[in-house]
Amino acid sequence: MEFKLDHSEFTLNQAEKGIWLVLTHVKRVPPHVGLLLDGIYFSLNITGVEKNISIEKFLKALALRKTETLFLKIKKHPVYSTYYMCEFFLNELNSSKPIGVNETTCLSPIKYFFNEFYALNLTKQELISDVIYQMIENNYFISFSTLNFSEYKKNSFFIPNYTHSDLHNFIIDKGATSIAK
């Protein structure tokens, strides 16, 4: 699915401030999703919670692996500080269930975050393209930046379409199982 949004060059200085939705392995089905809050990266993955990863360390790992990454800059919240939102998100990550088929995904705590702070009504059924669409429709994104992309269209980016079945198969392939019997 293609999305229209202003593009800006990615810089370390820019990434150290504010809130960013980060998609790694963008061309893979499904991409991985995390949040970058004032230069600190957080995500939920198959092995557990990634938290308090500095932007320098995160960017070094992305560069070493040549990971195609999309950074979506989110508008500053009018009331809550990024510090407060970071503490809230960290608490949500720490209380998240492990990733499993038909259960929690890397997107689950992020949807909760957006529902809480950006008044979206995201449910378990929405995939990343649905989340991005709603954020753009509500003018919550400022711009996007890319890293390790060989090509992209000016002021637009593309996320491969995938289904819940594709997502479940990926989770199974990576070794997660359902904890619900």
Please check the confidence at residue 177 and state whether its pLDDT lies above 60: no
Q: Is 74 domain-assigned?
A: yes
Q: Is 178 domain-assigned?
A: no
Count of structural domains, the chain: 1
Q: Is 72 domain-assigned?
A: yes
* Domain limits for position 17: 2-173
Each residue's pLDDT tens digit, 10-19: 888 888 999 9
Q: Is 158 domain-assigned?
A: yes
Measure the CA–CA gap between 127 and 27, rounded to whole angstroms: 15
Identify whether the C-beta of residue 138 lies closer than 8 Å to the C-beta of residue 77.
no
Each residue's pLDDT tens digit, 94-150: 998 888 766 789 999 999 999 999 999 998 889 999 999 999 999 999 999 998 886
Q: Is 164 domain-assigned?
A: yes
Each residue's pLDDT tens digit, 74-84: 999 999 999 99
Which residues, 6 or more positions from 47, have their beta carbon under 8 angstroms from its beta carbon? none
The pTM of this model reads 0.91
Q: Is 8 domain-assigned?
A: yes
Q: Is 181 domain-assigned?
A: no
